[in-house]
A and B are shown apart, each in its own frame.
Chain A
């Protein structure tokens, strides 16, 4: 039991002089990859190098929603497997990731949105994922607090109900994976910054840190919002990624009132009640690229406006804490996963935007396959960064998005 407590992960800050693989970023994707490298491929001579502390970035700032009702067939199988992994990992890590399978309800506020949802629902069903379109009355039955009247600025036309989704305790995933990886011998090194990546003859040779040089044939760049900058500054590889601030907030704790994750693209708002009873809510990003994690006055007000329209009873509830994180957005809202191109031994896992949490463990699993074998698994191939050169956007978002890196 925790109370008696052994350390969950090793204390060591001392870097060894060489590793089989160095993972930049002690976030969810980095830790998951390290865990799967160690457990599935016996590659435990691995260092996870984190500049701050594990879970400092998006891992600790997301709103913990998981779901598998993506839009495209490139994404659907990946997220489906991700959903199935939470209970499995809970047992495997012997650490309760607290997957709360409450289901997700995404609201449509126009005919056009319903049509977009139908594609999503039917595509999910085609892939054997439970997702259905429901009418406003059924929405109200699921979420009694919902206002389905026409008083709303954007009345509710229906919803996409996805029972297999829910929320997972995000911190638990960080700590569970760190603990699991550490037990298998992975070095988790906090407070060490990567300052350079050594390449010779088109191959990765080393990683420079502010605590010394590490020799390694493999590097995974899983630095989240900072991944694109690392790629650009250390290897001269420019990625089509814009970094934007995204904010979220929680209310004071309440007895259960929301039994599902609800979301609305039109209102730029999603909300779910954590197991602690807080209503966690967030949604859209600041409209300009930036690296700050500052909250804005506008946003929390906007969120209150949106939330009190959808769920009028929440007017009597108080916001308690807002925070901000960074989302690394690609032009098509799908990630960039690549490896050995153009530098052998250099692997990339970034551009997740706000999908990084729900995808972390499954991506880690396949990335570990990739890094151990050097061959990209079929399921990850569509995510190559080369797609942007060919103007082949993934189509994960139906709508146009504009955030070019220079605006």
Chain B
């Protein structure tokens, strides 16, 4: 097809050719083409087949309002051809067809529409019941548009930015551009978002005069130039706004051009004030076969010619409801399109200057007429026009029908931000009311049509946004308001809903193949709320996101109700306003985790790393999953564990002790210098949430540890539970500031004494002692003698920056003993043998301190502390029916350990195995379980029901804990 050349409005570069592969054939176009315009210029009329009826669908809006032109591009489905620029070598495929879009073997579905009334799937397929599973398979296959391969990889980089602005303007049409200029003139930081690849909005392609000698497109470019030159305006082109949230949080995504380093990027803006100047889209005209390829909206035909140099066809009929349609007819006629006639649904009210121009071109004008039916089996061949009563009819041959009922404002951003949409009888629009503070609407979306008024309303909104930013522009605002009042206000809009149609294929929603007949059916069934009709018929729930159905559906429902008090009520707008790639939302997302200061050396030592909450930790350092060698090394020699993930806190200030008393169950006044004190925290239900040790560093200054899992929440927990007390204390989370090495095993002392400057003998540094040492005179170490793994052990806390050095020093000092790492698996067995609990492992949400046998921690006499959980601890103290923690061994010592998590049963479930391992020290399996109170007595038989056990139950018996070294002399060595 020959392209129009030399038009000043063109946005393509005819000098540079591009090509794509479509349906196996190569097609050529010019730089600046979208996939849709390139294919259209090459004669493609049928772009896809519809979801349900497989009806042929073509180019309709050129703004992505429906799935009509969805194609598969380079194996990515559901790509809208209308706003995807052609890249050389693109491979484009049609979707949802069996065959080609022209010849679709599924086209017979259209003939079966009688069998598919609204919600038909609720009434068939279930009788007989065995039909349904078969039907499901077929429904799934026929549903869905594009197909995606499970191993497809989306190419391109996806980025994200979070800019802030004083004023954010959505839409760079005349109003938005004027608003931006007004705000920028006050030296504010302005962000301007435009969904199209260039600025100008609906001025951009129109040659009608703005002022004498100044066509609209030139005026648009003039404004755009001013914007581009303003240093404080940040312009995002080809950027679709997808969300508006409280307090002016705007989200959008930008498509990258070839020069950009991103394919798409997520843009999230926080602005002091927001101007919405999103203009209007066209409201589809409802008539029989209104979806035939060849039927398109005014802007589509006009922009196709003016922006891309493609004439929509040879012979056109216009059936429109707005002056823009008449203007387009005149312009397209002058560009070479033959126009059979222009029908205007309005009987009066058009701009009186326009009909004479039609007449001068011998284009018949039919006010009060409308398209009633489109003919043509696959593409448009002719159209029947009728007057509004449907009495007079006339047919016209044509290959193009420009059809549009009127305009409808793009209110999505305002609705998402919380504005209500109310039907306005004058404009026929759903106009926003109750717009949130510091948010303004401007331009065409308010019903304005006069270009000067539109620009001025933009300027006014821009100034109001300036005022929101605290600048005194009140006088200027009043001036502009007065000026605007002199200009034409909102124009009367077409309220036309549906042509007098007879057939059954008048589509309210293209994406979901919903006809007005389907709406009638839904209403007969009792669905009288628009929202429910939408759900029942799925009108407006397709990829076009209500762009086609959004306005007509509520109008049609209100019209059909014939109830004067029933105002048309639009359905809820939902984000994202434009379909957005998950890749774009995910942005630069990549796997992140926290590493301990000795991560690298742990990995180098062969550590099998695993994710533990935010951390990477070594599970073991050997191939044996039970970590036997590591366990035995700790029991008989000396090992080192990287325990840096422990929560570590300093709390200080005059009321620090009070705060500790509040959250810990023990009497924390007993915490003293030089000694470690073990205690636990509970929640209000007495359920144990954390355990750890504390010591006093100086007066009113404490250091304490929490479990890894609680490290992130502890500060907040303490602040929350002291929030009404006005206590004077500070809490610092030192978790990341300190690394921790647990040096454990009978030879631990021999290693440590080689490197520290203080005495570490059992007398000088006894069990549960706390000392501060220097290692090699340079590294400050906080050492505590604890016994989690049940051997002599020193927990060394060291500033993170020294952690690797200390590790290396200890490793070197321990070389003569063959010191070795141990990991979490070894620690787990070691502590299990000692009967030490890990919260979350030996406890669950409902487990109290009493249940795990740690009730003795609770000091009931510190009433004044109002300890969190104390009331519940008192109330549950003697409750014997709860799950209690017990130790068990297998009845047959030769049996293997049951798997963690296996239920313990006796007619019903009575508890479960928390942790069970084979104990190399005891040469038999040992475990801990939470069981109902009556099973907790010593020597009680426990029956264990493992998953997939096929009725073979395991038998264990309750035994006292600890299993290993019951007197604890090894850790006190």
Residue B485 at the chain A interface, CB threshold 8 Å: no
In the bound complex, residues from chain B placing their C-beta under 8 Å from that of A109 are 611
Q: In the bound complex, do residue A119 and residue B845 qualify as a contact, i.e. CB atoms below 8 Å apart?
A: no
Q: In the bound complex, do residue B589 and residue A305 qualify as a contact, i.e. CB atoms below 8 Å apart?
A: yes
With A110-B611, A118-B900 known to touch, is A254 a contact of B909 (CB < 8 Å)? no
Question: Of A296, A313, A318, which contacts B152 at CB under 8 A?
Answer: A313
Q: In the bound complex, do residue B579 and residue A319 qualify as a contact, i.e. CB atoms below 8 Å apart?
A: yes
Q: In the bound complex, do residue A11 and residue B526 qualify as a contact, i.e. CB atoms below 8 Å apart?
A: yes
In the bound complex, residues from chain B placing their C-beta under 8 Å from that of A380 are none
In the bound complex, residues from chain A placing their C-beta under 8 Å from that of B593 are 153
Q: In the bound complex, do residue A312 and residue B77 qualify as a contact, i.e. CB atoms below 8 Å apart?
A: no
In the bound complex, residues from chain B placing their C-beta under 8 Å from that of A313 are 148-153
CA gap between A194 and B31 in the complex, in Å: 63
Q: In the bound complex, do residue A91 and residue B126 qualify as a contact, i.e. CB atoms below 8 Å apart?
A: yes
Prevailing SS type, chain A contact patch: loop
In the bound complex, residues from chain B placing their C-beta under 8 Å from that of A144 are 150-151
What 0/1 readout, one digit per residue, does chain B (539-554) give for beta carbons within 8 Å of chain A? 0011101000000000
Q: In the bound complex, do residue A256 and residue B141 qualify as a contact, i.e. CB atoms below 8 Å apart?
A: yes
Question: Of the 9-residue stretches A121-129, A229-237, A344-352, A358-366, which lies at the interface with chain B?
Answer: A121-129
Least CB distance, A88 to chain B, in whole angstroms: 9
With A122-B945, A252-B145, A300-B575 known to touch, is A317 a contact of B582 (CB < 8 Å)? yes
Q: In the bound complex, do residue A316 and residue B122 qualify as a contact, i.e. CB atoms below 8 Å apart?
A: no
Q: Find the B residue at minimum CB distance from A393.
A: B846
Question: Of the 9-residue stretches A33-41, A195-203, A398-406, which lies at the interface with chain B?
Answer: A398-406
Question: Of A297, A305, A400, which contacts B245 at CB under 8 A?
Answer: A297
With A98-B121, A391-B872 known to touch, is A398 a contact of B844 (CB < 8 Å)? yes
Q: In the bound complex, do residue A332 and residue B78 qualify as a contact, i.e. CB atoms below 8 Å apart?
A: no
Residue A90 at the chain B interface, CB threshold 8 Å: yes
Q: In the bound complex, do residue A315 and residue B586 qualify as a contact, i.e. CB atoms below 8 Å apart?
A: yes
Q: In the bound complex, do residue A332 and residue B526 qualify as a contact, i.e. CB atoms below 8 Å apart?
A: no
Least CB distance, A146 to chain B, in whole angstroms: 8
Q: Which of B384-440 contact A (CB under 8 A)?
A: 418
Least CB distance, A278 to chain B, in whole angstroms: 8
Question: Of B124, B153, B535, B879, which contacts A171 at CB under 8 A?
Answer: B535
Question: Of B77, B136, B685, B903, which contacts A126 at CB under 8 A?
Answer: B903
Q: In the bound complex, do residue B846 and residue A395 qualify as a contact, i.e. CB atoms below 8 Å apart?
A: yes
What 0/1 readout, one digit per residue, does chain B (662-690) give for beta carbons within 8 Å of chain A? 00000000000000000000011111010
Residue B147 at the chain A interface, CB threshold 8 Å: yes
Q: Which of A85-113 contact B (CB under 8 A)?
A: 87, 90-91, 94-96, 98-101, 109-112
Question: Of A11, A53, A123, A308, which contacts B582 at CB under 8 A?
Answer: A308
What 0/1 readout, one digit per residue, does chain B (900-922) give for beta carbons within 8 Å of chain A? 11110100110010000000000
CA gap between A96 and B135 in the complex, in Å: 12
Q: In the bound complex, do residue B901 and residue A87 qualify as a contact, i.e. CB atoms below 8 Å apart?
A: no
Q: In the bound complex, do residue B901 and residue A118 qualify as a contact, i.e. CB atoms below 8 Å apart?
A: yes
Q: In the bound complex, do residue B583 and residue A126 qualify as a contact, i.e. CB atoms below 8 Å apart?
A: no
Residue B742 at the chain A interface, CB threshold 8 Å: no
Question: Of B139, B538, B582, B586, which contacts A251 at CB under 8 A?
Answer: B582
In the bound complex, residues from chain A placing their C-beta under 8 Å from that of B127 are 91, 94
With A5-B524, A316-B154 known to touch, is A395 a contact of B122 (CB < 8 Å)? no
In the bound complex, residues from chain B placing their C-beta under 8 Å from that of A308 are 582-583, 586, 589
Q: In the bound complex, do residue B583 and residue A316 qualify as a contact, i.e. CB atoms below 8 Å apart?
A: yes
CA gap between A55 and B158 in the complex, in Å: 38
Q: Which of A1-27 contact B (CB under 8 A)?
A: 1-3, 5-9, 11
Q: Find the A residue at minimum CB distance from B114.
A: A3
In the bound complex, residues from chain A placing their C-beta under 8 Å from that of B579 are 252, 318-320
Q: In the bound complex, do residue B902 and residue A391 qualify as a contact, i.e. CB atoms below 8 Å apart?
A: no
Q: In the bound complex, do residue A155 and residue B150 qualify as a contact, i.e. CB atoms below 8 Å apart?
A: no
Q: Find the A residue at minimum CB distance from B523.
A: A5
Q: Which of B554-590 contact A (CB under 8 A)?
A: 572, 574-576, 579-587, 589
Q: Which of A332-350 contact B (CB under 8 A)?
A: 332
Prevailing SS type, chain B contact patch: loop
Q: Find the B residue at minimum CB distance from A331.
A: B685
Residue B140 at the chain A interface, CB threshold 8 Å: yes
Q: In the bound complex, do residue A152 and residue B574 qualify as a contact, i.e. CB atoms below 8 Å apart?
A: no
CA gap between A251 and B579 in the complex, in Å: 8
Residue A253 at the chain B interface, CB threshold 8 Å: yes
Q: In the bound complex, do residue A126 and residue B909 qualify as a contact, i.e. CB atoms below 8 Å apart?
A: yes
Q: In the bound complex, do residue B532 and residue A53 qualify as a contact, i.e. CB atoms below 8 Å apart?
A: yes
With A2-B122, A254-B147, A315-B586 known to touch, is A122 a contact of B78 (CB < 8 Å)? no
Q: In the bound complex, do residue B845 and residue A395 qualify as a contact, i.e. CB atoms below 8 Å apart?
A: yes
Number of interface residues of B (CB under 8 A): 113
With A144-B150, A256-B141, A391-B848 known to touch, is A123 a contact of B689 (CB < 8 Å)? no
What 0/1 readout, one digit per residue, does chain A (148-173) give for beta carbons within 8 Å of chain B? 00011111000000000000010110
Question: Of B121, B266, B841, which contacts A301 at CB under 8 A?
Answer: B266
Q: In the bound complex, do residue A122 and residue B545 qualify as a contact, i.e. CB atoms below 8 Å apart?
A: no
Q: Which of A355-407 contact B (CB under 8 A)?
A: 390-395, 397-402, 404, 407
Residue B604 at the chain A interface, CB threshold 8 Å: no
Residue B603 at the chain A interface, CB threshold 8 Å: no
Least CB distance, B428 to chain A, in whole angstroms: 26
In the bound complex, residues from chain B placing their C-beta under 8 Å from that of A296 are 245
CA gap between A251 and B572 in the complex, in Å: 18
Number of interface residues of A (CB under 8 A): 105
Residue A321 at the chain B interface, CB threshold 8 Å: yes
Give the interface centre of A132, A320, A323, A404 by most chain B CB atoms within 10 Å.
A320
Question: Of B133, B268, B841, which contacts A101 at CB under 8 A?
Answer: B133
Least CB distance, B273 to chain A, in whole angstroms: 18
With A125-B948, A153-B593 known to touch, is A315 a contact of B529 (CB < 8 Å)? no
In the bound complex, residues from chain A placing their C-beta under 8 Å from that of B948 are 125, 132
Question: Of A53, A100, A254, which contacts B529 at CB under 8 A?
Answer: A53
CA gap between A297 and B901 in the complex, in Å: 38
CA gap between A112 and B268 in the complex, in Å: 36
Give the interface centre of A114, A155, A253, A401 by most chain B CB atoms within 10 Å.
A253
Q: Which of A256-280 contact B (CB under 8 A)?
A: 256-257, 273, 275-277
Least CB distance, A264 to chain B, in whole angstroms: 13
In the bound complex, residues from chain B placing their C-beta under 8 Å from that of A2 are 117-120, 122-123, 521, 525
In the bound complex, residues from chain A placing their C-beta under 8 Å from that of B592 are 153
Residue B947 at the chain A interface, CB threshold 8 Å: yes
CA gap between A354 and B545 in the complex, in Å: 27
Least CB distance, B761 to chain A, in whole angstroms: 39
Q: Find the A residue at minimum CB distance from B576.
A: A319
Residue A78 at the chain B interface, CB threshold 8 Å: no
Q: In the bound complex, do residue A297 and residue B545 qualify as a contact, i.e. CB atoms below 8 Å apart?
A: no
Least CB distance, B969 to chain A, in whole angstroms: 32
Q: Which of A38-55 contact B (CB under 8 A)?
A: 53, 55
In the bound complex, residues from chain B placing their C-beta under 8 Å from that of A394 are 846
Q: In the bound complex, do residue B148 and residue A255 qualify as a contact, i.e. CB atoms below 8 Å apart?
A: yes
Q: In the bound complex, do residue A252 and residue B585 qualify as a contact, i.e. CB atoms below 8 Å apart?
A: no
Q: In the bound complex, do residue B591 and residue A3 qualify as a contact, i.e. CB atoms below 8 Å apart?
A: no
Q: Find the A residue at minimum CB distance from B848.
A: A391
Question: Of B124, B536, B580, B845, which contacts A332 at CB under 8 A?
Answer: B845
With A53-B532, A392-B846, A393-B845 known to touch, is A256 a contact of B144 (CB < 8 Å)? yes
Least CB distance, B135 to chain A, in whole angstroms: 9
Can you pick out 10 interface pairs between chain A and chain B where the beta carbons lie within 8 Å of each other?
A: A116-B901, A122-B901, A132-B947, A255-B145, A276-B143, A305-B587, A316-B152, A316-B582, A318-B543, A318-B581
A-B pairs, top 5 by smallest CB distance, nearest first, are A277-B144, A3-B117, A304-B585, A118-B901, A255-B147
Known A253-B145, A304-B585; further 13 A-B contacts with Cβ < 8 A: A11-B526, A120-B901, A126-B945, A171-B535, A252-B78, A296-B245, A315-B154, A317-B148, A318-B579, A319-B582, A323-B572, A323-B574, A391-B686
B-side residues, CB < 8 A to A, are 51, 67, 75-78, 114, 117-127, 129, 132-133, 136, 139-141, 143-154, 158, 243, 245-246, 249, 251, 266, 268, 418, 521, 524-526, 529, 531-532, 535-536, 538, 541-543, 545, 572, 574-576, 579-587, 589, 591-593, 610-612, 619, 683-687, 689, 720, 840-841, 844-846, 848, 872, 875-876, 879, 882, 899-903, 905, 908-909, 912, 945-949
